[in-house]
Amino acid sequence: MRKIFNNTNSPSKYTLRKISQCKYVTLFFTITLLFSAYTALSFSSAGEASSEFEFRILVDDTLAILIWPPVENLSVDCIPPRSGGLRVLFSFKEERLWGNVSLVYVQPRNEGIYNLLVNFRSSVEWSGIIGVYTSDREFYGGAGSVSATPQGYFITLSGPIKMPQGDWKIIITLNVQGGSSSTFFSLKFPTPVNMALFILFSGILAYFNAFFILDSYFKSKTEGVSKIRLIIVSLLIFVSAFILYQVYNVMVGGETHV
């Protein structure tokens, strides 16, 4: 005779199956929640990305930051602000041999420590170079590659680097020292359009000056030139040079003192 044991305290197969299914569902939701939290944290940290640098440069040398492709919401601040000690020029989009770039030029006028904060937003992966324009390449030793430009030697201090898209904050500490760098070395970069206009305006002034100079020359051969006429011609040349200087300063644009 076969005995049948029925233990009412033992869980049935159906109950065990339901418990197992609940465990899998709970595990699935837990993994999903953790992944969502990780993704949100990643996006949050990407929006607050920052990079820090520290450089030692000379008074009146020009720190250059080049970023490509061009970025948005570009701003430059000195913390704390220092009145008259720093010349800053920046542009959202400039043409270069390899394409369009956003650029920042910083020229300290006095010795000291400058804390720069460069903010911008890039919707794509971006690249950048930080360098310095100087007339004293020996001061920077073997800091990086050196190339000769019409504005002086350009020495690479960092880069090229490649970074992901997002909101970026570049923190730069400048230790500015006095030295043998030329005090007259002042770097200004008019845009290509402004430079073309400046050349056109210079040509017009040069034409008028040449007309009066040549007219006076030929008259001196035949009639002689009075001292008053010579003074007027000299003043005309001086005034023309002064006007060109003022126009050039206006056309470089984007320059501020902080």
Instruction: Determine the pLDDT at residue 55.
Output: 92
If DSSP codes are grouped into helix, strand and coil, which group holds residue 13? helix
Residues of the chain with pLDDT under 50: 1-6, 8, 16, 27, 34, 37-46, 181-187, 253-258
Q: Give pLDDT, residue 171.
A: 93
CB 90 within 8 A of CB 253: no
Model pLDDT, residue 258: 40
Instruction: Write down the pLDDT at residue 233.
Output: 80
pLDDT for 194 equals: 66
- State the Cα–Cα distance between residues 83 and 48, nearest whole angstrom: 29
- Kindly report the pTM of this predicted structure: 0.53
Are the C-beta atoms of residues 169 and 119 closer than 8 Å to each other?
Answer: yes
CATH 2.20.200 fits 49-177, yes or no: no
> Residues for the chain: how many in total?
258
The closest alpha carbon to 174, from 4, 16, 18, 53, belongs to 53
Among the listed residues 176, 182, 185, 141, the one whose alpha carbon sits nearest the alpha carbon of residue 58: 176
What's the pLDDT at 18?
A: 53
Cβ–Cβ under 8 Å, residues 251 and 198: yes
